Structure 1
Amino acid sequence: MARFNVRSAKAPATSPVRSTGRTLRTHQGGKGVERDARSELFLLAVANFVSQQTFYESGEDRDSRFAQLVHKLAVEDPEWTAGLLGWLRGEGNLRTASIVGAAEYVKARLDASATAGPSNRQVVASVLRRPDEPGELLGYWTSRYGRNVPKPVKRGIGDAVARLWNGKALLKYDTAAKGYRFGDILNLVHASPDPAKPWQGELFRYALDRRHNPDTAEPPASNRTLVAHRALMATPVAERRAVVTAPDGAARLAEAGMTWEALAGWLQGPMDAAAWEAVIPSMGPMALIRNLRNFDEAGVRDEVAERVAAEISDPEVVARSRQFPFRYLAAYQHAPSLRWSYALEKALGHSLANVPSLPGRTLVLVDRSGSMWARLSERSELNRADAAAVFGAAVAMRAAHADLVEFGTTSSPVRYRRGESVLKVLGRFGDLGGTDTTRAVRAHYEGHDRVLIVTDEQAAYSHYGDPAGQVPAQVPVYTWNLAGYRAGHAPSGGPGRHTFGGLTDAAFRMVPLLERGHSADWPWVRTP
C-alpha cells in the first residue's frame, strides 16, 4: 500500500521568519528561541519607531540592535537588505526606520569596501519618497557620522530632490525650523534639475535665494503657486481675516499652497471656525484626522463636518492613505465627538479590509499583559494592547467561526457579535498582568483548525513548553509580533509554525496563501 506517493502528498508550507534552533531567554525569563539575522531585522524594522522606549528595551538599545543588524546584512546579503528598506518605505509605510536603515546600509558597505548588490546611491534614493526626507536623511547622517557626507549619499539625495521637489513642497517643508533648508541641501549635494521639468531649475535658484537672501528673493514668474503665495503673504495683517472669509477664500489659500500649519501664523491669531473651514478643502485625509478635535473646539459648522466625515471614511481615500488601523483608533480615542465616531469606525473597517476571512474554526489569542500597554511611540497615545485587540477582534469577526480570547496571567473569552463595531468589542478587553501564553493556549485550544496569537512574545517560563507546542503539529500557529524583541516565544519558519511582523496587508495575505499549501516569501518578493 502506498504511504507517501499519493495524490494528496505535497510539501508543507513555510514562511520566511525562521528560528535558528538556539535557545534564548525572553525579557520575562521564559525560554525563548533565537531567529536568524534576517528574521530578527525584519521583525524589529516593522515594529521600530526609532529612538522610542519600549517596555523592555531603551530607545538607544533598540537603535543599536537595528544598526548592527543592518550593518551585518548590508554586507552579507545586500539584495535582501535593499529590498527590505525599499519595502519599508513603500508598502510598509515606515519612514524613519527605512531612512535610518538606508544610512546604516551605506555606512556599513563603505567601511567594508563592498561593491556587490544594489548601489548605495540606489538604496538612498529608494527610501526618500516625501520632499522633506532628503533633509531627514542628511540630519541623521551628520548627527551620527559628522558633516563629511559621502558621494553615494549625496547622489542618492540628489536623485530624490529632482524627483520630489516642486513649489508646494518648498512652501510646506522649507521652513526655519528645519536644520537643513532646501537651499542647504542643494549647496551640499549639487542636485541637477530633472530634464523633464524645465521649471525646476528656476525653483532650485529660488530655493537658494530664499535661504541666503530671504528679503529680496523673488519667486519665479512661471510658478503660479509661489507667485500666489507671495501675494498672499503681502496682504496686510488687518485684512487677512477678510481674505479667509471671502467667497473665494478657500480657493486663494489652495492656490497659494497655504497649509493649515502655516495659516495660524499668517493670520497672527487663533484658528477660528472660518479659518478652519477655508483651509479644510486643501487638507489631506490624515491632516483632517489629526485635527478633528480642533474642528470641534473651533465650532466648525455641521455641513462642513459632514464633508470631512465623508472624506475620511471614503474607502478609496483610506486605501490611498495606506495608514495603519491604529491611526484611526488613535483618532477615535482623541476626538470622541459623535459626529466623527461613525466616520472613524468606517475608516477603521476599511483599513482592515485585507484581514483574511478564515474558514473552519479559529482560536484568536490577544496579549493584554503589562508589557503590551507601552505606547507605540512617544508621540502616540495608543498602546500595543489596544492595537492587538483591534486586529484580533477584526480577525475573529471575519472568520467563519472564531473564539476570541484575551490573556495575560489569566485568560478569558471576549464576547462579540458578527457585524458589530470593532471599537465596541475593544471596550470588553481588560488588563491582565503577566504573560502566560502557553497556559492560555492549553486552556482554550479545542480542536481548532488554526491558532492566531497577537503578542510581543515576551512570555514567562512554563514547564509545559512553548505555546505552539501545545497544538498538534498539523495545525498551523500564526504569531503576530508587535514589538520586535529579539527572543521569540516559539520556533517559526518550519511547517505550520509562522511568525509575522506588523499589521500590514503583506502579512494579511500570507495566511490564506500558506493555507493553500504555498510557501510564503518576504513581502517584497512576490509569490505567485
Structure 2
Amino acid sequence: MARFNIRTAKPKSTSRVTSTGRVLRTCEGGRGRERDARSELFLLAVANFVSQNTFYETGADRDDRFAALVRRLAVEDPSWTAGLLGWLRGEGNLRTASIVGAAEYVKARLDAGATEGPANREVVASVLRRPDEPGELLAYWTSRYGRNVPKPVKRGVADAVRRLYHGASLLKYDTASKGYRFGDILNLVHAAPDPDKPWQGDLFRYALDRRHNPDTAVPPASNRVLVAHRELMALPVAERRAVVTAPDGPERLRAAGLTWEALAGWLQGPMDRAAWEAVIPSMGAMALVRNLRNFDEAGVSDEVAARVAARISDPAEVARSRQFPFRYLAAYQHAPSLRWAYPLEKALAHSLANVPALGGRTLVLVDRSGSMFYSRLSERSELNRADAAAVFGTALALRAADADLVEFGTSSEPVRFRRGESVLRVLERFGDLGGTDTSAAVRRHYRKHDRVLIVTDEQAMYSHHGDPTEQVPADVPVYTWNLAGYRPGHGPSGTPHRHTFGGLSDAAFRMVPLLEEARDADWPWAS
C-alpha cells in the first residue's frame, strides 16, 4: 500500500522566523520561546521606530538591543544583514532603523577587520534614499563614535549625494535647523559631481557658498528652480499675497520649489484658503493626507477638495506615497469633515493590497491589551500598536470567505462586522481589554477553523493550558503577526503549521498564501 506517494500528500512548509527551542518568560510571565538572532533582529527591525519607548522596553534598551544584534550579525552573517538593511529602507519603509543599522554594520565590521560579504560603502549607500538622510547618518555616526568618519562611510555618503542632491532638495532640506548642512556634508565626504549631471557642479558650489557665505551666495543661472526661488524671496512682503491669488500662482510656487511648510513663513501671515489652494497642486499625497484638517479649517472649496480626494485615493498615488495603512486611520480620526471619509477608506483599501482573500474558515484574534495601547508608534503619530493591529485584523476578516474577528486582552469578545462594510467603521467597535490572556482567547473562540491568525505583541500571561498555539490542533496553521519585536515569542515558530511574521505594513501578509500552498516563505528581500 502506498503510504507517502499519494495525491493528497503535501510538503510541510516552513517560514524563516525560527525558535531555538529554549524556553523564556514573556514580559507578562507567560511561557515564551527564544528565537534565533536573525529572527529576533528581523522582528525588532520591522516594528521599531528608533528611540520610541514601549510598554515593556525603554527606547534606549530597544536601540541597544537592535544595535547589538546588527553588530553581531554584520560579522557572522553579513550578506543576510546587508539584505535586511536595504530592504528595511526600501520596501520596509523604515528610515531611521535602516540608517542606524547601516552605521552599526560598518562599525562592527571595521572593528572586527571583516572583509567578506557586501562592501561597507554599498551598504551605507543602499539605505540613503532621501536627500536629508546623508546628514542623518553622519549625525548618528559622529554623536556615537566621534568626528573621525571612516572612508567607507564617506564614500557611501558621497555615492548617495550624487544620486540625491538637486535644486529642489536643496531648498527643502538644507535648512538652518540641520546640524549637517549640504555644504558641510560636501566638505566632509568630498563628493565629486556626477558626470551624467553637468549641472551638479554648479549646484555643489552653490551649496558650499550658501553654507559659508549666505549673504552673498547667488544661485547658478543653470538651475531654474533656484533662480525662481530667489526671485520669489526678493519680492516685497506686501506683494507676496498677490502671488498666491493670481491665476499662475500655483505654477509659480511649484516652479520655485516652495513647499507648504515654507509658504507661511514666506507670506509672513496665515495659511488661509487662497494660500492652501495655491500650494495644494504641488503637495505630495502624504502631505495632503496630513493636512486634511488644515484644509477644512481654512475652508478650501469643494472643487479643490474633490481634487485632493481623487489624489489621496488614487491607487498609484497610494503606492508611491508608501504610507503605512494606519496613517489613513489617523487622518480619518483627525479630519473633521465627512467629505474625506470615503476617499480615506479607498486609500486604506489600496494600502492593504497584499491582504489575501483566504478561503475556508479563519479565526482572527486582535490584541487589545494595555501594552498595545501604551506607546505611540512614532513621535509624530497619535496611533499605537492596538490601532495598527485592529486595522490589519479587520482587513483580513473582511476579505476572508468566512471569518470570526475577536478582540482580546484579559477577556475576549467577538467584533461584529458585515461583508462589504467599511474597515474604518468596524474599527470604531474595538475597545481596551486590559491584560493579555491569549491562550484563553484562543481556547474560547477556536471552533475547528482552518487557520488562526493572531495580531499581537506576543507578551502573553501565564496559562496552565500552555502557550496560545497549543490550543489549536498541531495540523492547523497558526500565524502570529508580531507588531512589537520583543525578544520572547508566545509560541514556537519555523516549524510546520507554526509561523511568525512581523512589521507595520501589509507586506507581511504575502507569507500566508505561500505557506498555505506548501511553499517555504523566505526572507522578503530573498523572495
> Counterpart of 2:423?
422
What is the Cα deviation at residue 316 of structure 1? 1.4
Q: Is the 8 A contact 2:392 2:506 kept in 1?
A: no
Q: TM-score, structure 2 length as denominator?
A: 0.99
Q: Secondary structure at the match of 2:455?
A: strand
> Counterpart of 1:499?
500
What is the Cα deviation at residue 503 of structure 1? 3.7
- In 2, Cα distance between the equivalents of 1:356 and 1:5? 30
Of the structure 1 ranges 353-362 and 313-322, higher mean CA displacement relative to structure 2 is found in: 313-322
Q: Is the 8 A contact 1:142 1:149 kept in 2?
A: yes
Q: Secondary structure at the match of 2:50?
A: coil
Q: Secondary structure at the match of 1:403?
A: strand
- In 1, Cα distance between the equivalents of 2:320 and 2:254? 21
> Counterpart of 1:462?
463
> Counterpart of 2:215?
215
Structure 1 residues 86-136: Cα deviation after superposition (integer angstroms, max 9, x where no partner): 000000111010000000000110110111000110000000000110001
- In 2, Cα distance between the equivalents of 1:320 and 1:513? 26
**Residue 175 (str. 1) matches residue 181 (str. 2):** no
Q: Is the 8 A contact 2:166 2:203 kept in 1?
A: yes
Q: Secondary structure at the match of 2:178?
A: coil
> Counterpart of 2:317?
317
Structure 1 residues 198-226: Cα deviation after superposition (integer angstroms, max 9, x where no partner): 11011000000000111111111111101
Structure 1 residues 176-211: Cα deviation after superposition (integer angstroms, max 9, x where no partner): 011100000000000011111011011000000000
> Counterpart of 1:376?
377
What is the Cα deviation at residue 505 of structure 1? 4.2
Structure 1 residues 304-330: Cα deviation after superposition (integer angstroms, max 9, x where no partner): 111111110111111221211011111
- Letter of the aligned partner of 2:448 in structure 1? G
Q: Is the 8 A contact 2:296 2:336 kept in 1?
A: no
**Residue 8 (str. 1) matches residue 8 (str. 2):** yes
- In 2, Cα distance between the equivalents of 1:298 and 1:237? 21
What is the Cα deviation at residue 9 of structure 1? 3.0
- Letter of the aligned partner of 2:122 in structure 1? Q
Q: TM-score, structure 1 length as denominator?
A: 0.99
- In 2, Cα distance between the equivalents of 1:243 and 1:325? 36
- In 2, Cα distance between the equivalents of 1:7 and 1:412? 40
- In 2, Cα distance between the equivalents of 1:483 and 1:173? 31
Q: Secondary structure at the match of 1:34?
A: strand
- In 2, Cα distance between the equivalents of 1:155 and 1:54? 35
> Counterpart of 2:247?
247
What is the Cα deviation at residue 155 of structure 1? 0.3
Alignment of 1:184-203 (within 5 A): 184-203=184-203
**Residue 519 (str. 1) matches residue 523 (str. 2):** no
Q: Is the 8 A contact 2:280 2:288 kept in 1?
A: yes
- Letter of the aligned partner of 1:313 in structure 2? S
Alignment of 1:38-57 (within 5 A): 38-57=38-57
> Counterpart of 1:159?
159
What is the Cα deviation at residue 339 of structure 1? 1.5
> Counterpart of 2:414?
413
> Counterpart of 1:448?
449
What is the Cα deviation at residue 336 of structure 1? 3.4
- Letter of the aligned partner of 1:152 in structure 2? P
> Counterpart of 1:403?
404
> Counterpart of 1:19?
19
Q: Secondary structure at the match of 2:405?
A: strand
**Residue 233 (str. 1) matches residue 233 (str. 2):** yes
- In 2, Cα distance between the equivalents of 1:55 and 1:378? 15
Q: Is the 8 A contact 2:455 2:482 kept in 1?
A: yes
- In 1, Cα distance between the equivalents of 2:506 and 2:241? 45
Q: Secondary structure at the match of 1:519?
A: coil
What is the Cα deviation at residue 3 of structure 1? 1.8
Q: Is the 8 A contact 2:354 2:507 kept in 1?
A: no
Q: Is the 8 A contact 2:89 2:95 kept in 1?
A: yes
Q: Secondary structure at the match of 1:238?
A: helix
- In 2, Cα distance between the equivalents of 1:298 and 1:504? 32
- In 1, Cα distance between the equivalents of 2:5 and 2:81? 39
Q: Secondary structure at the match of 1:47?
A: coil
Seen in structure 2, the aligned counterparts of structure 1 residues 379 and 457 have a Cα distance that, compared at 3 Å, is same
What is the Cα deviation at residue 303 of structure 1? 1.0
Q: Is the 8 A contact 1:408 1:436 kept in 2?
A: yes
**Residue 388 (str. 1) matches residue 381 (str. 2):** no
Q: Secondary structure at the match of 2:453?
A: strand
- Letter of the aligned partner of 1:224 in structure 2? R
Computed over aligned residues only, the root mean square deviation of the Cα atoms, in angstroms, reads 0.9
- Letter of the aligned partner of 1:311 in structure 2? R
Q: Is the 8 A contact 1:35 1:487 kept in 2?
A: yes
- In 1, Cα distance between the equivalents of 2:526 and 2:217? 48
> Counterpart of 1:490?
491
What is the Cα deviation at residue 287 of structure 1? 0.6
Count of residues paired in the alignment: 526
Q: Is the 8 A contact 1:86 1:126 kept in 2?
A: yes
> Counterpart of 1:93?
93
Q: Is the 8 A contact 1:53 1:377 kept in 2?
A: no
Alignment of 1:56-71 (within 5 A): 56-71=56-71
Structure 2 unmatched ranges of 5 or more: none
> Counterpart of 2:327?
327
Q: Secondary structure at the match of 2:209?
A: helix
- In 2, Cα distance between the equivalents of 1:353 and 1:154? 39
- In 2, Cα distance between the equivalents of 1:506 and 1:303? 35
- In 2, Cα distance between the equivalents of 1:384 and 1:164? 33
- In 1, Cα distance between the equivalents of 2:506 and 2:127? 19
- In 2, Cα distance between the equivalents of 1:200 and 1:378? 35
- In 1, Cα distance between the equivalents of 2:7 and 2:251? 67
- Letter of the aligned partner of 1:103 in structure 2? A
- In 1, Cα distance between the equivalents of 2:457 and 2:438? 11
**Residue 477 (str. 1) matches residue 478 (str. 2):** yes
Q: Is the 8 A contact 1:410 1:440 kept in 2?
A: yes
What is the Cα deviation at residue 378 of structure 1? 2.6
- In 2, Cα distance between the equivalents of 1:136 and 1:224? 28
- In 2, Cα distance between the equivalents of 1:308 and 1:140? 37
Q: Is the 8 A contact 1:17 1:39 kept in 2?
A: yes
- In 2, Cα distance between the equivalents of 1:364 and 1:10? 25
Q: Is the 8 A contact 2:33 2:490 kept in 1?
A: yes
Q: Secondary structure at the match of 1:500?
A: strand
- In 2, Cα distance between the equivalents of 1:490 and 1:510? 18
- Letter of the aligned partner of 2:340 in structure 1? W
What is the Cα deviation at residue 399 of structure 1? 0.4
Q: Is the 8 A contact 1:478 1:498 kept in 2?
A: yes
Q: Is the 8 A contact 2:351 2:506 kept in 1?
A: no
Q: Secondary structure at the match of 1:524?
A: helix
What is the Cα deviation at residue 11 of structure 1? 2.6
- Letter of the aligned partner of 1:490 in structure 2? G
